[in-house]
Amino acid sequence: MADAAGLLRGAGARFREAGLDTPDLDARLLLAECLGLEPGILAANAHVLVPDEAQARFAQWVDRRLAREPVYRIVGRRPFYEHDFLLSPGTLEPRSDTEILVDAARRELDAVLRRRRAARFCDIGTGTGAIAVSLLALFPAATGIAVDISDDALATAGENARRAGVADRLALRRSDYLAGVDGPLELVLSNPPYIPSSQIASLAPEVRGHDPRLALDGGPDGLDAYRAIAAQAPRVLTEDGALLLEIGAGQGPDVRAIVCEGHRFVFEGATRDLGGIERVLRFRRVSRA
């Protein structure tokens, strides 16, 4: 049996030669999963011997990573916020940037529940259910609706909700945005597809080859989803309800203009990521004067 340190060195070198961004981390995550260990535990016990079966699986996974399959796709699940979420071909892999959206929604729901005994929200384009499940786990008095046009995504979201113990408070709906959703809702939120169609081919192989195009492609200018959501959200939101939207780099001015057109929403603020880029926009539903 080989020791973990040697396997990690070998895989890390191959990943580095292939130009992968995080070669040593990728190797550690894959080997830790093969051994059933937390990555931090493996790092502190690199002398551990690796059984032949785990070594064979690790070799296969290294080859898959070299073929540019993402680490968490290989493993089959990804950590997000406070839970691990199962992935499937019909789901976007949750990104750390989207935790900013959950943080913003957390503040909104906390404020609602200080005034009311219950809160109801809708997560548009739920994918793995990472956003909705994370919020329901944080707020036992909340109920949620998770919508998607992919049956595979809805099945995956349902399983993730079950694993997190919140399935009884999450309604799964196959819907084109909010078409199949009834109000009233205190919150609507979404990490919609926002990449312009012409840019899909230039995405990293890990993204364009493994995330579903439906979850990436935002139409010719990347803004189609925002137009649909802005048009439909007033119907289901309470008069003081909030709309939270994750956006791509540089899309803030256009999305603000789209959502505020017609004077059904006012813009309340933006949250930036660690790089200083506007990542989440917050709007408030207002009555038409």
In a shared domain, residues 189 and 269: yes
In a shared domain, residues 27 and 94: no
Q: Is residue 208 part of a domain?
A: yes
In degrees to the nearest 10, what's the CA dihedral of 46, 50, 54, 55?
Answer: 90
In a shared domain, residues 168 and 261: yes
Q: Is residue 85 part of a domain?
A: no
Contact (CB, 8 A) for 121 and 129: no
In a shared domain, residues 189 and 103: yes
Find the angle CA(252)-CA(254)-CA(255) to the nearest 5 degrees.
Answer: 65
pTM of the model: 0.93
Answer whether residue 289 shows pLDDT above 70. no
Q: Is residue 53 part of a domain?
A: yes
pLDDT in tens, 150-162: 999 999 999 999 9
In a shared domain, residues 62 and 122: no
In a shared domain, residues 203 and 236: yes
Q: Is residue 79 part of a domain?
A: no
Residue 159's contacts (CB-CB under 8 Å, 6 or more residues apart) are 86
- 132: exposed, middle or buried (Cβ count in 10 Å: 0-12, 13-18, 19+): buried
Per-residue pLDDT band at 26 (split at 50, 70, 90): very high
Q: Is residue 245 part of a domain?
A: yes
Domain boundary among the residues 67, 82, 106 is at 67
19: domain CATH number is 1.10.8
Q: Is residue 129 part of a domain?
A: yes
Predicted pLDDT at 262: 84
User: Which residue range forms the structural domain that includes residue 10?
Assistant: 2-67
Residue indicated by tokens 């071909």? 89
My answer on whether omega of the bond before 184 falls inside 30° of 0, hence cis, is: yes
Per-residue pLDDT band at 126 (split at 50, 70, 90): very high
Domain boundary among the residues 36, 67, 98 is at 67
Q: Is residue 78 part of a domain?
A: no
Number of folded domains that form the chain: 2
- DSSP states of 141-159: TEEEEEEES-HHHHHHHHH
Q: Is residue 221 part of a domain?
A: yes
Contact (CB, 8 A) for 124 and 105: no
112: domain CATH number is 3.40.50.150
Residue 217's contacts (CB-CB under 8 Å, 6 or more residues apart) are 193, 195, 197, 200
Answer whether residue 169 shows pLDDT above 90. yes
